[in-house]
Structure 1
């Protein structure tokens, strides 16, 4: 194992993540980025190029908790936020556990690594009125008949109506539409079925009427870019930022529509478990971020429910 090339080791780890664990491409990319970053950091400490060195030359066999802490400290100095540090910590724990299981390291130093607690920030949420104004504006500009504007309207309506992540929406195929529901493959390729509201269904139907105008080569992708490929998430982010500005509402990102959908469902009376399933959260604790309520709603609920109000 000492003579194993570091590049071969990283390749084996990538196969572990993508093939054996079946993680999404996005997750594999993030975990590999952190593993390579740690390896580069260790290489700089001992003065070797990880790309052409062995496990022994890099000193991986004797990896210690102090090395991991120093690496995280370097990330913090470079400007990583607490949430980024928490994610990097989780990724590197996965890497060190795998190194130990493979017999590369003498022990698993990641076991003793304490993850930084991420900031607990409330998500940005549009009011129901602002969400309506944004989507109504997207519909109004789509009435011009322009194929891209119709697509943009349908994408925004579906993001809000079904609470989709942007990667889930851009990953949809035409076969995932099933009447008034859509089949979604979320994190870890976990499948869920979520409803589509009537306005979103109308928008999607309008888009399906012009989708053929985007097609260059046969594809099952539902949302297509102007050149015929699957719509890029970065393109959709830019579209939404421009639409929210033109509609006169607060700057809005795709995830803000997801946050807003969850909050508006809870304000409308949905229970937390239903919203958890709707969003595809594996942990109820993640969904609980949406339990914040406006002072007006809290006062109204207090007045209706408290015996001494």
Structure 2
């Protein structure tokens, strides 16, 4: 009996997870995209892999545009469709390849949001000048867990900006990944690709303070396991909690709608402005392609002009 599209889709997602080592987020996103695609095909009476036509695939892409999805979302969905059909042909599930030369929607170049060096300094310093007052337990003794969470937040912000971590990477950090003697963090990035990034300066000091003094106060409230960053219940902190705290501290210093990825973008931009080699920034960010990192070179060209003026012997000459 020929395989159904549903069964083939499950096999494809398993292939991405096991053989390709794709991240959980990628698999979940592709799963949602393909569920929507198969539902669209089912409405057209298409349930077998060899029955899908080029017209079906193009009609689905048009429908995604008409639904108002962002271009990036349509592009990801089209990539999922192409990968799915390519997999079915490679696995001899079918001979039909309706998306072989399906053009991917062009993804508009969007410059990443960044904050200035001055705003980064205010974010990391101003809210943390004075610790909050400890709460009082029923016994009258001070409960310093709120202070511990406050100092945890400081360490989180410092690492997001000081190490350029993605939220998922920060939340996934385990104690064994913190190599303090070497001033390094071992980070598990997209596609389960491991990289090592330096943790120095204020980021290192905030992390050491948190681990030695404040994490133990949070750990007593639950089963912390190996997680570096804990919630006030003593469990591994969630991405949603990190998003919320970044936005909250941003508001404190007048930066509305601050997103954790903005701190990663700012990290990359400020490194390039400081003169770091593009390939080195690529390695620190964990980008598979340098073309992704190059986007940061378009964010602010002011530093390029200033460097040119300082370096070139005739840049500052005026006609006499």
Match of 1:203 in 2: 206
Deviation digits for residues 246-292 of structure 1 (CA, Å, limit 9, x no counterpart): 11234311000000000101111101011011101110000001112
Match of 1:22 in 2: 21
SS state at 1:192 partner: strand
In 2: Cα distance, 1:147 partner to 1:132 partner:
22
Q: Say yes or no: does 1:212 pair with 2:216.
A: yes
SS state at 1:109 partner: coil
In 2: Cα distance, 1:201 partner to 1:225 partner:
20
2:177–2:187 contact (8 Å) kept in structure 1? yes
Match of 1:104 in 2: 93
- CA pair 58-12 structure 1, distance change in 2 beyond 3 A: same
Deviation digits for residues 44-81 of structure 1 (CA, Å, limit 9, x no counterpart): 122xxxxxxxxxx6143221222111111111111111
In 2: Cα distance, 1:153 partner to 1:16 partner:
40
1:34–1:91 contact (8 Å) kept in structure 2? yes
2:177–2:185 contact (8 Å) kept in structure 1? yes
The structure 1 segments of at least 4 consecutive aligned residues displaced by more than 6 Å after TM superposition are none
- CA pair 138-193 structure 1, distance change in 2 beyond 3 A: farther
Q: Scaled by the length of structure 1, what TM-score is found?
A: 0.90
In 2: Cα distance, 1:141 partner to 1:68 partner:
58
Q: Which runs of 5+ in 2 are unaligned?
A: 134-143, 316-320
Q: Which runs of 5+ in 1 are unaligned?
A: 47-56
Q: What RMSD, in angstroms, separates the aligned Cα atoms of the two structures?
A: 1.8
In 2: Cα distance, 1:303 partner to 1:14 partner:
53
Q: Say yes or no: does 1:120 pair with 2:109.
A: yes
In 2: Cα distance, 1:167 partner to 1:140 partner:
28
SS state at 2:99 partner: helix
1:267–1:293 contact (8 Å) kept in structure 2? no
- My pick for the range that moved more, 248-257 or 297-306, is 297-306
In 1: Cα distance, 2:185 partner to 2:13 partner:
31
In 2: Cα distance, 1:20 partner to 1:254 partner:
30
Q: 1:253 aligns with which of 251, 256, 259?
A: 259
- My pick for the range that moved more, 289-298 or 236-245, is 289-298
SS state at 1:266 partner: helix
1:62–1:106 contact (8 Å) kept in structure 2? no
